[in-house]
Structure 1
Amino acid sequence: MARMKKKGTSGAAKNYITRTRAVKKLQISLPDFRRLCIFKGIYPREPRNKKKVHKGSTAATTYYYTKDIQYLLHEPLLNKFREHKAVAKKVARALGRGEVGDAARLEKTHIPKIKLDHIIKERYPTFIDALRDLDDALSMLFLFANLPSSPHVPAKTIALCQRLCLEFEHYVIASHSLRKSFLSIKGIYYQATIQGQDILWLVPYRFVQRTGGDIDFRIMGTFVEFYTTLLGFVNFRLYTSIGLVYPPKFNAKSDEMGGELGAFQLESKGLGTNGDATTNGGEQRTITSAEAQAEVEKVAALAASEPQEEDAPNGATVPGDDENTDKIDTFEAVAQDADILPQPQASNDEIASLFAPFTFFLSRETPRQPLEFILKAFGCKRVGWDGILGDGAFTTDESDPSITHQIVDRPALPAESLPQVPSAPEDKNDNAAPRVQWPRSTMPGRTYVQPQWVWDCINQGKLLRPDLYAPGAELPPHLSPWVKPKKGEYDPNLPLEAQEREGEAEAFEEEEDFEEEGEEEEEDESDVEMRTTDTTNGTKAILDRGGSVEAGEGMDVASGESESDDEDEEDQEDAEEWDGIESEPESDVSDGEAARRQHQRELEAEATGKTLEPPVVTAKSKNAEIRKKAEKKRQQEAEEKERQKMMLPRRKRKLLKRIEYGEEKRDKEAEALRRKRRRIEKAQAAANALS
């Protein structure tokens, strides 16, 4: 006879364990258990069948894999947690006795230091694995770098996050790894490509942050502790991969004055023993030793001994120094009917030096930190700003003639609303010193743009027209570079004619005309009511003044007018019937009915000897005809699709129905957006016509 198995000892019941049992098994407190699970990357699991796991109970319980908890039994951090708990008991006992000095000594010398180096190596066996998990780490650290200090978030943690984030930004600037950026409601999104991995992180805006009381900063602090260790390892590996010394030199005085990126001085590992290169705020100077110079001369001699263009065998040409070999090849079609091949985009080197030849000046109202980071990441070496924004600027003089672009974000104000500008001081040569007083005066030869111009340029990989982003101009739509418009969706960059369906514009014009006619009818009705009220009031006034109105006098006049009006209306209706004109518009009848009526008109005209005048084609009738043809075409396509669906199995038919529901919903949303845009454009055209 086979041995009976006890219930709850195998299968799903053995694979899962509750959190209470896990804490008892590890013999640690619940906060330490949560902290350990975050460090090790162990998260709760949801079993498929809770009854089998928890002996028939379906109560809300947190479960973990049994193998994960078994794996935690051998973690060295468990001993550190127990040592910390023992020291905490001693500190509490000393404070209870009033021995404050002993408590401070115990806390300073006996609290164990927790290091997470071995956990980083376990969770990320390769460097690519660490880069793939860097998105959440950067977003969390940039968030804490912008938080104010509080009892829950100490200033030491904020300073550490700021230093690591600025070091990472310096690497992105030095390696030109930044690719795209987007301004959203949550903050600024950045995407960098590092060693083939796309890293996307979010940086919040620098507003005054108010931390609520419902946020568990202990859990977030545990993540920050792990992420700071991870980013420290990653920064070290990234710096050494491009020949930079890590950690870079940090100028605390410049950082106190708001230098941020300018507070770090990058050092490059030289070729020789004494070779060294330093970079301060994006500007680099190189100091080479004699041995390094000898190596360079040796390489140059070898290059000079190679065959030049005239010495190339078989008539082959060697590209010279004057030729640009970085130009991208273009694919041209050989035959007239050949396929059009997609052309390659700009190279990474061209995009990385997008702002290299320019000198930028940031006005006081613009966000200095993101603009400085983006401009330097795309090749700009000279970025200046007002001295009130912090230290590290290329220039703080707004009138510097070397400035080519100035970024402003102020509305265009009329001249009478601006304050009076004091006269500029004169120098010894009696020449007025040039000084910029924007928006009253601008420097000649300088381009003034709004901040969105920088983001749109880097997302499209080219310099856009600056006049579209002039101060006070209506900016083009700022769209996410990661969302590509699909077929049928609304695209703000395309004109309405390129994306609307057939007959949609005509239907919109008809609706607008119908609304205008309705408004005119309402106005006419209100005028009739006003005239009727005036007549009644006039008759009442005559009676009040003592005037006499004979009985039936007013009624006879009114009845006579009504009878004449009725006769005129009957004669008019008879004439309309004779002329073959129907009150029903032609756009609301079928094609066969319209042809029959036209034939009837021709017969009547032939019987009376009149010449039938061709119908007047108005814009309204033309739009109605186009809309009618488009609706008929769509109806035929829908009928053909319904016939095709009848041949499908029931399961696929239901799936197709769900797909069509989503497409119809998307089309309605896109049509609503196009209608809104058309109304706005129509209102703007009317306003421009009036002005």
Structure 2
Amino acid sequence: MGKIKKKGTSGASKNYITRSQAVRKLQISLPDFRRLCIFKGIYPREPRSKKRVSSSSTPSTTFYYTKDIQYLLHEPLLAKFRDQKALAKKISKALGRNEVSDAARFEKNLTPKLRLDHIIKERYPTFVDALRDLDDALSMLFLFANLPSTENVPPKVIAKCRRLTMEFEHYLIRTHALRKSFLSIKGIYYQATIQGQDILWLVPYRFVQRTGGDVDFRIMATFVEFYTTLLGFINFRLYTSVGLVYPPRFDAKSEEQGAELAAIQLEGQGENGDAEGQDVMDTETNERAQAEADKLRSLPDAEANDAPQSNGGEADNTTTLDAFASIDATADSLPQPSLTADASTAAQLFEPFTVFLSRETPRHPLEFLLKAFGCRRVGWDTALGEPGAYCAEADARITHQIVDRPDLPLPLPDNAGGEAAGRPSSARVPGRTYVQPQWVWDSINAGLGQRADLYAPGATLPPHLSPWVRARRGEYDPTVPLAEQETAAEVEAAEAEEAEGDEAVEEASEGEEVAGVRGDGEARELEDELDDEDGGMDVHLAGSDSDDDDDDDAELEAGAAANDDDDDFGGFSDPEQASDSADDAGTDASRAAHQAELEAEALGLPPRAPSTAAEAKKLARGVSAAKRVKAEREAREEVERRKMMMPRRKRKMYEKMVYSNERREEVSEGLRGKRRRVEKGKGGSEEGGGGVEGVFLYVSRIF
């Protein structure tokens, strides 16, 4: 008989440990345990079966790996936490004895200082590992840099986050490592490429932030404490790699005056007064290395391994990639490889421009983006902060001015000369290009300067699209014309809807025309009655004295008899005569249709199409819809026959895939329909209104 195993000594119950057991084992408080887990990167785990893992009758909710807790037993920070606990007891005893001075002395001299340097080195053995984990760090630090100071967020933490983030921005400006940016509802997204690693972070807008009571700032402050240490290490490595002194010189007075980026002054590494020369040499060397890394990263793996290394470190930007064309037109489109923008391209985008930022524009993000992409001459209003401004608004060197207000008028010319007489602040300067802020973001994402007339003040801006989203096959793509995306069913439905609208317009126009024709007919009948009473023809009866009158009477009687014979005629027996009469009837119908079109043109209304043509179009739409429905039904039947031959597991997977595709197609169809209505509304508004309302409006203007 084998030995009976004790419960909880092997298996899943031994691999997991509850949070309360971990706190008792480490002999620290629950808040200190949370801080330690955040610093060390240890998070709760979810076992497959909580009943098997839990040793109690009530299953616990939070579990950790037992090996992770054993790893924390040797952490040096545990001694610091225990020292803090002992210090808190001394301070509480001193305050209980009313020894306030001793309590203040204990807090000032005996408070242990926590250093996280060893944890940074443990969690990130290489610098690339630290860069990969920089996304969340930057988003958190930029968030705290824009928060107002409260009791939960002290001013020292905000100032430290602000300084570290500005140092990182200065490195991006110096090396031109920024690649893309996007304006969203949450904030501004930025993407930079540093040593082949794409780093994406979010910066909130500088609005008045209101912190809610449901936010646990203690946990967030723990993350900020760790991330500030991490970003300090990364900034030191980045600055030294390009030959700059870290930390850079920070001017607190300029920062108080609103200098922001200009408050930090970069200094090059050098000795014996040759700092600038060494700075330039090291910067050029590291920029070439960065360009070479960008080039190798853009190539496929096989080509990157075989790429020859240049002796002089010069980057070869003449690399051309093959384009892959799909053989089957109905297949998915192949993603085409493309070279990402390098530092040299980013440095030349806004280099020849001198930009002035108006007061209503967001100054800091625009200044950061313009300088990161080559513009070294950025000015703004002195009310936003005088230090660091390159030029004033009246400077003649300004080539572009970014405004976010309605259209600006041109100044009135002087009567004596042709120059402007007293330009107001809301008037344009001749020879200067005025654009809205979105022009900067769209030019950066496109990699070249966009047309300035599309972003003029007061103009309807083009759609601002995310540079990281690529429309897949069958999905709605706002950059492609609507005619190239619509399906056959959507086209037929749109044509049917347009035909119904045209019929409604025709009915409305016919009502107006019938009313007009009735009015004209009543007027003609009234004129005939007046002619009969006053100036009508005098018919002489038989028995008149004049012979001429008798001859005239005879001719009139002969004509009346002929008319009576025509009225009494019942039809033709000859088929040729019948065909001739049919031709005459068709000619009369065409004449009537032509007369109706002329009357419509006289009234200023669109000409009415004959009923036969409308019926023909309607019949053609019905035939095409029937063919399409038949083809779809046959395709569904073929798919059902194929599904019968599939295994059950694959069939379920296929059905889930089809369901998700249908939901995606419904969303895309809704977006295309919305765009169709918007484009149709724009066309109708330009023509004075669409539909029946537009016709009535047009008729009311005529009369």
2:392 is the alignment partner of 1:397: yes
Which residue of 1 is the match for residue 459 of structure 2? Answer: 473
2:378 is the alignment partner of 1:383: yes
Task: Name which of structure 1's ranges 384-393 and 613-622 shifts more when overlaid on structure 2.
Answer: 613-622
Which residue of 2 is the match for residue 298 of structure 1? Answer: none
Which residue of 2 is the match for residue 687 of structure 1? Answer: 685
Give the Å deviation of 1:522.
11
2:446 is the alignment partner of 1:451: no
2:406 is the alignment partner of 1:411: yes
In structure 2, the residue corresponding to 1:59 is in which secondary structure? coil
In structure 2, the residue corresponding to 1:213 is in which secondary structure? coil
Give the Å deviation of 1:135.
0.7
Which residue of 2 is the match for residue 276 of structure 1? Answer: 275
Give the Å deviation of 1:411.
2.4
Cα separation, 2, equivalents of 1:627 and 1:383: 60
Give the Å deviation of 1:96.
2.3
The residue type paired with residue 452 of structure 1 is Q
In structure 1, the residue corresponding to 2:8 is in which secondary structure? coil
Which residue of 1 is the match for residue 666 of structure 2? Answer: 668
1:629-660: CA deviation from partner (whole Å, max 9, x where unpaired): 44444344333333333332332222222211
Which residue of 2 is the match for residue 189 of structure 1? Answer: 189
Maintained 8 Å contact 1:358/1:380: yes
Cα separation, 1, equivalents of 2:63 and 2:491: 59
Which residue of 1 is the match for residue 245 of structure 2? Answer: 245
2:129 is the alignment partner of 1:99: no
The residue type paired with residue 207 of structure 1 is F
Question: Per the alignment, do residues 138 and 633 of structure 1 end up closer, same or farther by CA in structure 2, a change over 3 Å counting?
Answer: same
Cα separation, 1, equivalents of 2:245 and 2:339: 34
Give the Å deviation of 1:392.
3.6
Question: Which residue of 630, 654, 658 maps to 1:656?
Answer: 654
Which residue of 1 is the match for residue 75 of structure 2? Answer: 75
Which residue of 1 is the match for residue 428 of structure 2? Answer: 442
Cα separation, 2, equivalents of 1:423 and 1:463: 31
Question: Per the alignment, do residues 524 and 467 of structure 1 end up closer, same or farther by CA in structure 2, a change over 3 Å counting?
Answer: closer
Question: Per the alignment, do residues 267 and 626 of structure 1 end up closer, same or farther by CA in structure 2, a change over 3 Å counting?
Answer: farther
Cα separation, 2, equivalents of 1:193 and 1:130: 14
2:100 is the alignment partner of 1:114: no
Give the Å deviation of 1:98.
2.4
Which residue of 2 is the match for residue 154 of structure 1? Answer: 154
Question: Which residue of 362, 366, 371 maps to 1:371?
Answer: 366
The residue type paired with residue 91 of structure 1 is I
Maintained 8 Å contact 2:181/2:191: yes
Maintained 8 Å contact 1:510/1:624: no
Cα separation, 1, equivalents of 2:88 and 2:200: 41
Question: Per the alignment, do residues 2 and 332 of structure 1 end up closer, same or farther by CA in structure 2, a change over 3 Å counting?
Answer: closer
Cα separation, 1, equivalents of 2:630 and 2:394: 66
Which residue of 2 is the match for residue 505 of structure 1? Answer: 491
Question: Per the alignment, do residues 288 and 476 of structure 1 end up closer, same or farther by CA in structure 2, a change over 3 Å counting?
Answer: closer
In structure 2, the residue corresponding to 1:662 is in which secondary structure? helix
Question: Per the alignment, do residues 442 and 423 of structure 1 end up closer, same or farther by CA in structure 2, a change over 3 Å counting?
Answer: closer
Q: Could you list the runs of 5+ residues in structure 2 that have no partner in the other structure?
A: 283-314, 325-332, 512-577, 587-610, 690-703
In structure 1, the residue corresponding to 2:463 is in which secondary structure? coil
In structure 2, the residue corresponding to 1:267 is in which secondary structure? coil
Query: TM-score normalised to the size of structure 1?
Result: 0.74
Any residues of structure 2 matched to 1:81-230 within 5 Å, and which? Answer: 81-230=81-230
Give the Å deviation of 1:665.
1.6
In structure 2, the residue corresponding to 1:221 is in which secondary structure? helix
Give the Å deviation of 1:684.
0.8
2:352 is the alignment partner of 1:350: no
Alignment identity in percent? 61
2:476 is the alignment partner of 1:493: no
Which residue of 2 is the match for residue 59 of structure 1? Answer: 59
Give the Å deviation of 1:436.
5.8
Cα separation, 2, equivalents of 1:85 and 1:341: 59
Which residue of 2 is the match for residue 642 of structure 1? Answer: 640
Cα separation, 2, equivalents of 1:43 and 1:88: 28
The residue type paired with residue 367 of structure 1 is P
Cα separation, 2, equivalents of 1:46 and 1:346: 40
Which residue of 2 is the match for residue 30 of structure 1? Answer: 30
RMSD, aligned α-carbons: 3.6
The residue type paired with residue 51 of structure 1 is K
1:123-166: CA deviation from partner (whole Å, max 9, x where unpaired): 11111111111111111101100000011110000000000000
1:292-317: CA deviation from partner (whole Å, max 9, x where unpaired): 9xxxxxxxxxxxxxxxxxxxxxxxxx
Question: Per the alignment, do residues 274 and 666 of structure 1 end up closer, same or farther by CA in structure 2, a change over 3 Å counting?
Answer: same
Cα separation, 1, equivalents of 2:316 and 2:73: 60
Cα separation, 2, equivalents of 1:234 and 1:609: 97
Maintained 8 Å contact 1:452/1:469: yes
Give the Å deviation of 1:110.
0.9
The residue type paired with residue 488 of structure 2 is E
Maintained 8 Å contact 2:361/2:437: yes
Give the Å deviation of 1:97.
2.3
Cα separation, 1, equivalents of 2:408 and 2:446: 31
Cα separation, 1, equivalents of 2:643 and 2:26: 61
Query: TM-score normalised to the size of structure 2?
Result: 0.73
The residue type paired with residue 82 of structure 1 is R
Maintained 8 Å contact 2:46/2:63: yes
Question: Per the alignment, do residues 433 and 380 of structure 1 end up closer, same or farther by CA in structure 2, a change over 3 Å counting?
Answer: farther
Question: Highest CA radius of gyration, 1 or 2?
Answer: 2
Maintained 8 Å contact 2:413/2:421: no
